[in-house]
Amino acid sequence: MKFDASLPPTSLRAIPDIARAAEAMGFDALWATETQHDPFLPLALAAEHSQRLHLGTAVAIAFARSPATLAYTAWDLADASGGRFILGLGTQVRAHIERRFGMPWPDSPVGKLRELVAALRAFWRTWQEGERLNFRGDYYKLTLMTPFFNPGPIQHPDIPIYLAGVNTGLCRLAGEVADGFHAHPFHSPEYLRQVVRPAIAEGAARAGRQSEAVRLSVTALVVTQPEETDFVRSQIAFYASTPSYRPVMALHGWGEVADRLKALSRRGAWGEMAQLISDEMLETFAVAAPEAELGAALRARYQGLADRLALYIPFHPGSRDDLWRAVKAGLQGAA
């Protein structure tokens, strides 16, 4: 199981030091999110200031961009990093696509994302192999690529694509077309085992692939100190209030609680929501253990289930370095 880290939301000026420190700490990959900052710009700097570390987006918002802009950016990062770049894509939810990014929401998000992945690979084949660009789908028609706009071949053209999601439609799609799947931090081992993994396998079988070809990447909510408990409860409550995430709660018999959380969120009663997250829910969706025991606890929870693991704690060099070392040692020591 690979042990990865997440970039904190920070200035680009801080990225070189973070990348060097992440590589020295022994992380396998460094992931950039799309929350307060662009997810690609930090990875260009991280590529320049690391040699071994894989670099990826977890995730870039697919429907906020065109296939061409994504294809060019991923191509450049794959080249600059010497093949260490991983393109992670997510759909986001309708409100953010329409009201934050000002883009249209598709009638079939799964269908549009399927086309987007195929379109990206069509661009890359054109640039690498000289294949004529002729992609025609329901959402994209891409037929123009003159030499002036063609960046040409690179040494590492096989760019892995990870998709992200919660529900079965995107899991099946990952099984069909992707190299990996980013499971949402709001999950349980039971949800991964009973819902996510079978849906990936179903999609892979539909496409004549082996499900093992799709790497499952998870980010774990953790509690190592009592003062972290309230924050993790609030995060669980926030995610559980999202209607599209209700199946995660429903699997455990807490669908009614999810409905109450949704109603509270619509009233803006954020302070009341965490009170609905019981100790049993906390233990189901998060790992609680002292720092020295966290690595072993995570391995017991995810071994044989996940291929990549990160914590829901951004990596700040010099802050909680003992935690990172302890988790890494625990994950390795139980091998």
Hey, what amino acid is at 13? Answer: R
DSSP per-residue string spanning 92-104 = --HHHHHHTS--P
Hey, what amino acid is at 181? Answer: F
pLDDT exceeds 90 at position 334: no
Q: What are the residues whose beta carbons fall under 8 Å from the beta carbon of 292, sequence distance 6 or more? A: 326, 330
pLDDT exceeds 90 at position 68: yes
Query: All domains of the chain, ordered by start, with CATH?
Result: 2-223+288-333 (3.20.20.30), 225-287 (no CATH)
- Helical (H) or strand (E) element with 288: strand 286-288
pLDDT in tens, 11-46: 999 999 999 999 999 999 999 999 999 999 999 999
DSSP per-residue string spanning 163-229 = EEESSHHHHHHHHHH-SEEEE-SS--HHHIIIIIHHHHHHHHHHTT--GGGSEEEEEEEEE-SGGGH
- Helical (H) or strand (E) element with 44: helix 41-48
Torsion over CA: 166, 172, 178, 180 (sign): positive
- Supply 182's token pair: 């980013």
Neighbours of 108 (CB within 10 A): 12
DSSP tag of 55: E
CB 77 within 8 A of CB 69: no
**Using CA atoms, how far apart are residues 28 and 1, in angstroms rounded to an integer?**
10
Cα–Cα distances in angstroms (integers) from residue 131 to residues 68, 160, 173, in the given order: 16, 20, 25
- Supply 270's token pair: 């954020």
Average confidence score pLDDT of the chain: 97
Cα–Cα distances in angstroms (integers) from residue 77 to residues 70, 109, 119, 129, 176, in the given order: 11, 26, 18, 19, 25
pLDDT in tens, 101-115: 999 999 999 999 999
pLDDT in tens, 158-209: 999 999 999 999 999 999 999 999 999 999 999 999 999 999 999 999 999 9
pLDDT in tens, 252-279: 999 999 999 999 999 999 989 999 999 9
pLDDT in tens, 182-194: 999 999 999 999 9
**Using CA atoms, how far apart are residues 92 and 61, in angstroms rounded to an integer?**
6
Q: What are the residues whose beta carbons fall under 8 Å from the beta carbon of 194, sequence distance 6 or more? A: 251
Confidence of residue 335 (pLDDT cuts 50, 70, 90): very low
Neighbours of 136 (CB within 10 A): 11
- Helical (H) or strand (E) element with 120: helix 109-129
CB 143 within 8 A of CB 135: yes
**Using CA atoms, how far apart are residues 287 and 198, in angstroms rounded to an integer?**
23
The tokens 């408990």 sit on which residue? 229
Q: What's the pTM?
A: 0.96
Task: Name the percent of the chain in helix, strand, coil, to the closest 5.
Answer: 50, 15, 35
DSSP per-residue string spanning 268-280 = T-HHHHGGG--HH
